[in-house]
Amino acid sequence: MAVAEWICIKIYFPYKKIPASKGGDFFCYLRLSFHEGRLESFTAISEFTYATVRSVKYEFGCSPKYTGENELALANGRLGSSDNFRIQWVGFQDVDMFVTIELLKPTDITSIEARFLQNQGSWIFLPKGIEYKISSGGQNYTTIFSTSINSGIKSDATEVFSYPARCSHENIKYVRVKAVNIGECPAWHQGTGGKAWVFYDEIIIE
């Protein structure tokens, strides 16, 4: 049995800028040499996710079928695809999406952006209203963005919609996002009267 006389391990962590208050992916590259001066092995790559969110709390629970894979799904830096709402998307049926995000530390923020999926054939509608609030201490919140959406208009397109809001606030530790569910599928829909869904994949805080 051969025994390594010398081992060289090289680990590379490429630099990647991460928004101040959301997660992101890092890749670790590792190479091995068992003899000095010999050809190095193939490169093994491992992926890690760095999150700067302490907790995510839902006022109303998401569906156990569509959790985004973990409790910090909205801060993992990974965006969902309109082609597959079973991965990276968090779904709420017949209830509003009302989430409070606690950051690791007070942060100066310049924008908040939430992303929602529209796939009416699967009973997934855009929310009829969206609201962003911020707080330094978690008790008193200030509304920085509010909009209404005519989400009941018929559309055959499957799309991702983003709703960005620019701001300039210091020492923010809590962010609340509320998306109001349309409730029931409209009269023109094949599932009229059925419970509609709201899906989101990421809340981007910078």
Q: Can you read off the two tokens belonging to residue 163?
A: 């709703």
CATH code reported for the domain at 53-205: 2.60.120.1190
Give the pLDDT mean for 26-42. 52
Residue 5: what pLDDT? 46
Q: Measured between alpha carbons, how far is 135 from 171 in angstroms, rounded to an integer?
A: 9
Between 116 and 69, residue with greater pLDDT: 116
Query: What is the pTM for the complete model shown?
Result: 0.74
pLDDT digits (tens, 9 = 90+) for 129-142: 999 999 999 999 99
pLDDT of residue 170: 92
**What would the two tokens of residue 146 be?**
């509010």
Q: How far apart are CA 151 and CA 192, in angstroms?
A: 14
Would you say the C-alpha torsion 90, 74, 83, 119 has a positive or negative sign? Answer: positive
**Mean pLDDT score of the chain:** 79
Can you tell me whether residue 1 is helix, strand or coil?
coil
What residues pair up with 48 in beta bridges, in sequence order? 26
- Listed in order, strand segments (DSSP E) in 119-196 are 129-135, 142-148, 159-180
More confident site: 100 or 60: 100
Parse the chain into domains and list their residue ranges.
8-50, 53-205
| pLDDT band, residue 62 (cuts 50/70/90) | confident
Tell which wins on pLDDT, 35 or 171.
171
The whole-number average pLDDT for the span 162-178 is 94
Quick check: 36 pLDDT over 90? no
| Beta-bridge partner residues of 115 | 162, 202
- pLDDT score for 178: 96
CA–CA distances in Å: residue 195 to residues 51, 58, 92, 98: 33, 19, 10, 17
